[in-house]
A and B are shown apart, each in its own frame.
Chain A
Amino acid sequence: MATIDLNINGVKMSFDVDPQMPLLWVIRDYAGLTGTKYGCGIAQCGACTVHIDGAAVRSCSMTAQAASTKKIVTIEGLSKNGEHPLQLAWQEEDVPQCGYCQSGQIMQAAAFLSQHPNPSDDEITKAMTGNLCRCGTYQRIHKAVKAAAQAKK
């Protein structure tokens, strides 16, 4: 066990955990932020996506230790009241069905749009294809990412 210091959504926290514990489980079970989801544990589904220093990262495949000097943002910290253009587009386009994968989808899209504010259809697909959705909401995810990119302009 070790004391791991984390900076999550601008708040400094410390936890006494196994340093090898994936960041995902520290976020969920110790920081109590359950918006970041467990889907597979091996970076195949993207449900656990957070931002580490602005980049999209699968938190299931990074130890808490490795994230300790970095700026972590989870879905809860993406906006103050759900007003991020992606969150608004998700509502407008009625994207989620069960909703479980959608935090990861939005975090992936947010990081992508911050780097590529004017993406083509193909670029959106390439960026999002690492995120699985069992309910099959892909068509609307794509539409909403595109709409959010427009809105941000």
Chain B
Amino acid sequence: MNRRHFIRTSVLAGGGLMLTIPSIAMNEHPHDVAIAETNGALSDLLKIAPDGQVRYQFIKHEMGQGVSTAMAMIIAEELCADWQKVKIDFPDTDLKKFQNDKYGGYDTGGSCTIIYQWDTLRKAGATARQMLIAAAAKQWNTTPENCYAKDHFVVNRLSSQRIDFGALATLAAQMTVSSEVLLKDPKDFQLIGKPKSAKLIPSMVTGSLQYGLDIKVPGMLYAVIARCPVFKGKLKSFDAKAALKIKGVKKVFTTQPIAGLQTETPYMPHDIREGVVVVADSFWAAKKGRDALVLVWDDGINAQYNSEDFKTLAAQRARHRTDPTGFVGDANAMADVRHVRTTLHASYVFPHQLHSCMEPLNCTAHASDNGCELWLGSQAPNLVVTELQRVFRFSEERIKVHCFPSGGGFGRRYYPDMAVEAAFISREAGNVPVKMIWTREDDQQHNLGHLFQHMEYQAALDKDNTLFAWYEKEICTYTWGAKYADAQLPGMAYHIPNIRYDFEDMTGEELVHSSAWRGVVGHGRFYSECFIDEIAASVKKDPYAFRLGLLEGDRDVLPNDANRFPGAKVRRVLTLAAEKSQWGKKMAPGSGQGMAVCPYGTSCCAVIAEVLVRDNKLTVTKIVIGVDCGKVVNPSGASNQITGGIVWGLTALFYGGLPIVKGRAVHTNFHQNKLLRMQECPDMEVYFVDSDDEKPQGIGEISSPLAIPAVLNAIYAATGKRIRTVPLDLSLFTS
């Protein structure tokens, strides 16, 4: 059903214009059918003040992906605003005003925002522009056709008079919203397509931007939690005598009442571990208090296992067929002796990963009878509200969330567990405001992680060495949905007549609670690009030529749950990257090139890596990335997402994983769970296809999952070593 929402304006208190796109529920009796319509309910969206300031009310989550800047550019473009006068506000939650539907609302993830809001934001900006023009026309006693908007002014074509937006805003708010929205011709774009620095930078570089961790409210206390070191373990007993003696420590109590309260929906895990809270008048005292706790855990069954045990178990599951989750052609083609001459087989593993958001998880909460006020950075503050309602029976009107940009979300900040923890602590501490902080050690040892993925591949070649069948079994610990949205359509653009995809869920046996990561669940699945390389090698074909052969015919592909994606675009972006990296150029001994290409959602990316193995050391020397993300709104921000994603993937490649021994995470901080550093960062070059797409597509997650197969393929080219897991065992490169 196509929900139509009607753009409205009103006069702000103090003058000026407020442009609103209310939800349809609030708009049951539209008084005028001839009102501009759009798809998204974005509620109070845009304020234009009498001084000319344009304030964009941004309710998605800004976590470094640059979405607030890109969305602001879209509105500012159609509005014909002076970019310097556009500011971004992060309003508090209000679930009645800002409803969560596909096109609007809070939740931020899956690289979707720009796809769903492009149209709505253009219409909103254009509508405001038209009303400003109407207001000016009225003042000049002329018609709108005789006016145009430019750089924060409405200009009279005939007289060359001009009035700035601020002076017009209040009158504009009272004009009738036109039913016909006049969008700009893209060739007239002044902002969209030009590189712009992120709007928040001035506050970032002066230290004035507030993140959730920076909040301080009057009377605030601090809390840290000692969480069970083993997933699904229980707290047996604790002794707080020594902790309570520490100066500053106020209260110690258990979190058992909120532990293990996972919601019904399987893809929303935020299982809170049992533990003990220390509340104090400083973070340092709380931490010292926690160190002084005597804790006895009932570790539970997971304490019997190491991560290696789980890996073995998953490998065992890989060996048998389940019912296919999706297939094209013949589901049993691999066994068809009439056609199959040779088969290949390989197992790949992508282990659990940490998110390692630079801003440690935190939430400040001030509970009251029947309600709670919270301060945090969250990718889904709507879930914070609904979870608090569910767990504490707070009423929705009495839950207020103050939203902040975060120091990294990457999927981890989608889950509302830290809000549940903080609200509980505040209530138990006597309805006082409490800032609950996860230390980096907590973050690394007692956290959710990227799911574990074992990918089992088989390929069958016929007598002509043509790729006849592809079999893939994914065994993983978190089901955001199996890979193929439609069982009859392929998730790869390669023209393989028979493709079968099996799936097995091992969530019940996980040693770490699994969750969405950057790329959601994509990273393990992109190992398919390594297996394609293995097939190419077996038929002695160049990896690029082999892929081009399989892409002939431009088959449509259905990645994730997105619309059909044309195979021609996959070929185009791969060709771009191949050209820019001079694929096939002569490489020095010990060096090699490797490629990986895949659509992600409605975008597509090709990564070509170059590596050098010399003096017992592996170096990634260069990465070239071709990108098709449709219309590029902010080339600078988009490029940042691509290169940042490469660094993300390389971190997993070199240092990733989440080793567990006797149920406990082994790594405690960054000296063990390492992140890539500047000295290990390769040269990166980003190229966008010359797209005639009118719409922008997602960008935040498309490069990271391809960095790994590209480098693994390059390592093979350089050394002949085929590596099928991460993190790399660097001793492989010592001779």
Residues on A close to B: CB < 8 A?
Answer: 1, 17-18, 21-22, 25, 28-29, 32-42, 44-45, 47, 74-76, 78-79, 81-82, 86-87, 90-103, 106, 125-126, 128-142
Contact check, B207 vs A134: say whether CB atoms are below 8 A apart: no
* Given known contacts A39-B358, A94-B195, A99-B64, A87 and B648 CB-to-CB distance under 8 angstroms: no
CA distance A139 to B685 in the complex (A): 10
CA distance A129 to B439 in the complex (A): 23
Contact check, A82 vs B675: say whether CB atoms are below 8 A apart: no
* Given known contacts A44-B671, A45-B358, A18 and B64 CB-to-CB distance under 8 angstroms: no
When C-beta atoms are compared, the residue in chain B nearest to A40 turns out to be: B440
Does chain A have a CB within 8 A of B536? no
Contact check, A96 vs B284: say whether CB atoms are below 8 A apart: no
Among all A-B residue pairs, the 8 with the closest Cβ atoms: A35-B207, A136-B647, A100-B407, A98-B64, A99-B204, A97-B64, A34-B214, A75-B207
When C-beta atoms are compared, the residue in chain B nearest to A144 turns out to be: B205
How distant is B649 from chain A, measured CB to nearest CB, in Å? 9
Contact check, B247 vs A94: say whether CB atoms are below 8 A apart: no
* Given known contacts A18-B247, A32-B216, A132-B675, A138 and B647 CB-to-CB distance under 8 angstroms: yes
Contact check, B197 vs A100: say whether CB atoms are below 8 A apart: no
B350-365 CB mask vs A (1 if < 8 Å, else 0) is: 0000001111100000
Cross-chain contact of A97 among B440, B644, B670, B681 (Cβ < 8 A): B644
Contacts of B206 in A (CB 8 A): 35, 75-76, 78-79, 81-82, 87
Secondary structure at the A interface, as helix, strand, loop or mixed, is loop
B191-219 CB mask vs A (1 if < 8 Å, else 0) is: 00001111011101111111101101000
B487-522 CB mask vs A (1 if < 8 Å, else 0) is: 000000000000000000000000000000000000
Contact check, B647 vs A38: say whether CB atoms are below 8 A apart: no
Does chain A have a CB within 8 A of B477? no
Contact check, B677 vs A129: say whether CB atoms are below 8 A apart: yes
Contact check, A40 vs B670: say whether CB atoms are below 8 A apart: yes
How distant is B4 from chain A, measured CB to nearest CB, in Å? 36
Contact check, A136 vs B648: say whether CB atoms are below 8 A apart: yes
Contact check, B408 vs A134: say whether CB atoms are below 8 A apart: yes
Contact check, B678 vs A42: say whether CB atoms are below 8 A apart: no
Instruction: Provide 11 A-B residue pairs closer than 8 Å at the C-beta atoms, listed in order of the A residue.
Output: A25-B284, A29-B222, A40-B670, A47-B358, A90-B205, A92-B197, A96-B64, A98-B405, A99-B200, A102-B205, A135-B640
When C-beta atoms are compared, the residue in chain A nearest to B435 turns out to be: A29
How distant is B458 from chain A, measured CB to nearest CB, in Å? 35
CA distance A12 to B676 in the complex (A): 39
Cross-chain contact of A132 among B198, B248, B283, B670 (Cβ < 8 A): B670
Contacts of A142 in B (CB 8 A): 678
CA distance A104 to B716 in the complex (A): 38
Contact check, B284 vs A91: say whether CB atoms are below 8 A apart: no
CA distance A82 to B282 in the complex (A): 30
CA distance A25 to B285 in the complex (A): 11
* Given known contacts A75-B206, A135-B644, A138-B681, A98 and B63 CB-to-CB distance under 8 angstroms: yes
Contacts of A76 in B (CB 8 A): 206-208
CA distance A92 to B197 in the complex (A): 7
Q: A34, A139, A140, A141: which has the most chain B beta carbons within 10 Å? A: A139
CA distance A33 to B216 in the complex (A): 11
Does chain A have a CB within 8 A of B416? no
How distant is A121 from chain B, measured CB to nearest CB, in Å? 11
CA distance A72 to B210 in the complex (A): 21
* Given known contacts A100-B359, A129-B678, A82 and B202 CB-to-CB distance under 8 angstroms: yes
Does chain A have a CB within 8 A of B643? yes
Does chain A have a CB within 8 A of B431? no
CA distance A28 to B66 in the complex (A): 26
For window 276-302 of B, CB contacts with A under 8 Å fall at: 282-285, 288
Contact check, B282 vs A96: say whether CB atoms are below 8 A apart: no
Does chain A have a CB within 8 A of B637? yes
* Given known contacts A76-B206, A94-B640, A132 and B646 CB-to-CB distance under 8 angstroms: no
How distant is A58 from chain B, measured CB to nearest CB, in Å? 12
Contact check, A18 vs B207: say whether CB atoms are below 8 A apart: no
Contact check, B207 vs A96: say whether CB atoms are below 8 A apart: no
Contact check, B678 vs A96: say whether CB atoms are below 8 A apart: no
CA distance A47 to B679 in the complex (A): 17
CA distance A76 to B405 in the complex (A): 19
How distant is B721 from chain A, measured CB to nearest CB, in Å? 26
Contact check, B205 vs A101: say whether CB atoms are below 8 A apart: no
Q: Beyond the given A37-B213, A97-B66, could you list 7 further A-B residue pairs with CB under 8 A, ordered by the A residue number?
A: A28-B214, A35-B206, A96-B201, A97-B65, A128-B678, A136-B643, A139-B684
Contact check, A126 vs B679: say whether CB atoms are below 8 A apart: yes
When C-beta atoms are compared, the residue in chain B nearest to A140 turns out to be: B640
Contact check, B201 vs A18: say whether CB atoms are below 8 A apart: no
Contact check, A35 vs B208: say whether CB atoms are below 8 A apart: yes
* Given known contacts A99-B407, A102-B204, A126-B679, A34 and B282 CB-to-CB distance under 8 angstroms: no
Does chain A have a CB within 8 A of B406? yes
Contacts of B63 in A (CB 8 A): 98
Contact check, B197 vs A38: say whether CB atoms are below 8 A apart: no
How distant is A33 from chain B, measured CB to nearest CB, in Å? 7
Does chain A have a CB within 8 A of B306? no
How distant is A36 from chain B, measured CB to nearest CB, in Å? 7
Contacts of A38 in B (CB 8 A): 213, 360
Cross-chain contact of B407 among A18, A98, A140 (Cβ < 8 A): A98
Does chain A have a CB within 8 A of B592? no
